[in-house]
A and B are shown apart, each in its own frame.
Chain A
Amino acid sequence: MTATATGTKTRTEILISGFGGQGVVRMGQILGLCAIKQGHRVTMLKSHGTETRGGYVRAQLVISPEDVDSPVVESADVFVAFSAPAYKKFYDCCSGTILYDPEMVEEIRPGAPARHVAVPATALAKERFNNVLFANMIMLGALTRVAGLDYEAMRTAMPEVIPRFHEQNLAAMDVGYTLPVATGSRP
């Protein structure tokens, strides 16, 4: 029995996971709202420990032009790993591309380098903004590029979800969107 029994091809599954406080759910909210504005149906499951910060957090998004039945990501098209435990725990739930932060996920599985995109979001957030909190927006920019999503729509959706620091957050998205590793050979 495989874990990839989802037959419907119209759905896009995105899995984001890391520690509490890294902005995992915020990223999911922006992705979801952006898709809704483009007329799609969206579900987002968020699960977390009881802690506000430090515990594990996971956001599972399903985006589809049609009604979404199962909201569970069993075979992610894109997996964003913000921590080593998240990478290990959900690796098998992904059949597509894995975006990971190399500062958090130091070791990746051998054998599938093409699936992996290293996005040094935390390092860049510290370097460019002197604040690790912008790592999620750098990752969102990179994800938008790698997944071929509408970047302008994403930039429009962001300020509706994040209450403050819009300019810096947009700048952080730009950093991720223009990363060579994201623009690479991928569409």
Chain B
Amino acid sequence: MATIVRADVTRELVAPWAEWERRYTQGRRLLEAGTYALTEGAIAAGCRVFAGYPITPATDIAEYMSKRLPEVGGYYMQCEDELAGMHACAGASLGGLKAMTATSGPGYTLMHDAYGWALTNEIPLVVVDAMRVGPISGITGAPGQGEFYVARYCTHGGNFETIVLSPSSVQEAFWLTIDAFNLSERFRTPVTILTDQVVSDMWEDLFIPDAYDALDFIVPRKHNLMMPFFPLGTADLDVPPNLVGQGTGVCVSAYTHTEEGYDIEEMEAQWAQTYRLVNKIRHHRAELARYETLGLEDAEVVAVAYGADARTVKTAVREARRRGLRAGFVRPITLWPFLDELFARDCHYVVCELNYDGQLVREVTRAAPDKGKVHFMGKSAELHTVAEVVAGLEGVARAGRIPELPYIWTEVR
């Protein structure tokens, strides 16, 4: 069978940094780690407070921050635990400064109370979760992708949407961190950067632009000094963050609140608050779409992956095409809100992720036109190899199923 499969397929990157990279070319080229890029991205975005508790593989972010923040007039705060760290970030943000914390799964779980406070009170800040294999402490130096749903449901109680972004390279970690701060300011909500041990520990060539002050795409911190502090019942973007102190009179509370932020126990107030927390994100989904695709014009089998794992999967897709398969590639960069539209094509999907229980695959199954054509290739603690993914893509293309492979789980139910 002589199918001709084009090798020069279309690659599409939909993300604001596609343009930033074209416009800013003066700078340094370094060999640096993902943790360095996440730190520098935050500094470039105007982050001036880091509060947190070190944990592998995010410790280097805290270490870099403790060196960099004093150099730019910022503050580094070593806290007693992650809960205190994120609350301190929320406090710093309410005080008018951009703030970030960084952790791994065990610490991310501890942050859920603080996450809820920041989320319901519309406090912008950025949280990095460098995922390692779990559950709980797992293995410190091995990658995992177990917090896909945890990041969506990053606090209890429901009635909210979340913004979660995931980079797949050191360079992307730099740009994406700036983007995360921008979105956090515009949407007035905490944003999670869901990265993994490989991206954070990996060293790669990294371009850092010369003058951060000259980057015109950075959303500056603004201050809301007047009522309504919480425009309940609206989905408006770009409402300036509230400022505590300075005589503004805004109140911050964990309870359902009024437009001033005072506690209230009325259903109408709860509905109005939920309307805002959910719809300020849902109504502006188009502003949040970030993804990469390859070869979707003729793909019969599309490999799906995010984060570091997407790197080997993408090479596998190119290799599969070289072997004559109509293979494609989808990498969601925005994980939440989930980009259903990426899975509109009626074809086979092979979902590769670093957990055995199957998380991303459930969302792809929900979004895909034919659930019977969604296949799972779960792996744990180690990236998929190119050879494994090629075998999976070939198996699905030829026999409609993933062949048995060591270390790969294919059952979701």
Contacts and interface: CB of A to CB of B under 8 A. Distances in A.
Contact of A36 (B29, B201, B383): B29
B102 interface: no
Sorted nearest first, the 10 A-B pairs with minimum C-beta distance are: A70-B315, A5-B387, A70-B312, A69-B315, A44-B203, A7-B319, A69-B314, A32-B31, A5-B386, A33-B31
Nearest to A36: B205
Given A5-B390, A50-B141, A74-B386, A36 B31 contact: yes
B413 to A, nearest CB: 26
B196 to A, nearest CB: 12
A45 B315 contact: no
B385 A72 contact: yes
B198 interface: yes
Interface in A41-73: 41-50, 68-72
Interface in A125-169: none
B31 A70 contact: no
Q: Which of B318, B322, B387 has the most CB of A within 10 A?
A: B387
B140 interface: yes
A69 B387 contact: no
A8 B312 contact: no
Interface string A1-12: 111111110000
A6 B319 contact: yes
B323 to A, nearest CB: 8
Given A7-B319, A43-B202, A70-B311, A48 B30 contact: no
A53 to B, nearest CB: 15
A153 to B, nearest CB: 14
Given A29-B31, A74-B386, A46 B311 contact: no
B141 A49 contact: yes
Interface in B178-200: 198
B277 interface: no
B339 interface: no
Interface residues of B, number: 27
Interface string B131-146: 0000000001100000
Interface in A98-127: none
A71 B202 contact: yes
B305 to A, nearest CB: 11
Contact of B385 (A3, A28, A69): A3
Contacts of A49: 141
A43 B203 contact: yes
B62 interface: no
A44 B202 contact: yes
Contact of B203 (A4, A7, A29, A74): A29
A6 B202 contact: no
A1 B387 contact: yes
Nearest to B319: A7
Given A6-B319, A7-B318, A70-B311, A42 B385 contact: no
Interface string B317-334: 011001000000000000
Contacts of B405: 1
B354 interface: no
Contacts of A47: 141
28 contacts: A1-B387, A2-B387, A3-B387, A5-B386, A5-B387, A6-B315, A6-B319, A6-B386, A7-B318, A7-B322, A29-B31, A33-B31, A37-B29, A41-B204, A42-B204, A42-B205, A43-B204, A44-B31, A44-B203, A45-B198, A47-B141, A68-B204, A69-B312, A69-B315, A70-B312, A71-B202, A72-B312, A72-B385
A89 B142 CA distance: 18
Contacts of B203: 28-29, 32, 42-44, 46
A28 B322 CA distance: 30
Contacts of B45: none
Given A5-B319, A69-B314, 11 more contacts: A36-B205, A42-B204, A43-B202, A43-B205, A44-B204, A69-B315, A69-B318, A71-B198, A71-B311, A71-B312, A74-B386
Contacts of B319: 5-7
A176 B400 CA distance: 53
B151 interface: no
A142 B314 CA distance: 34
Contacts of B202: 43-46, 71
A1 B314 contact: no
B111 interface: no
Given A48-B141, A69-B311, A70-B312, A4 B387 contact: yes
B110 interface: no
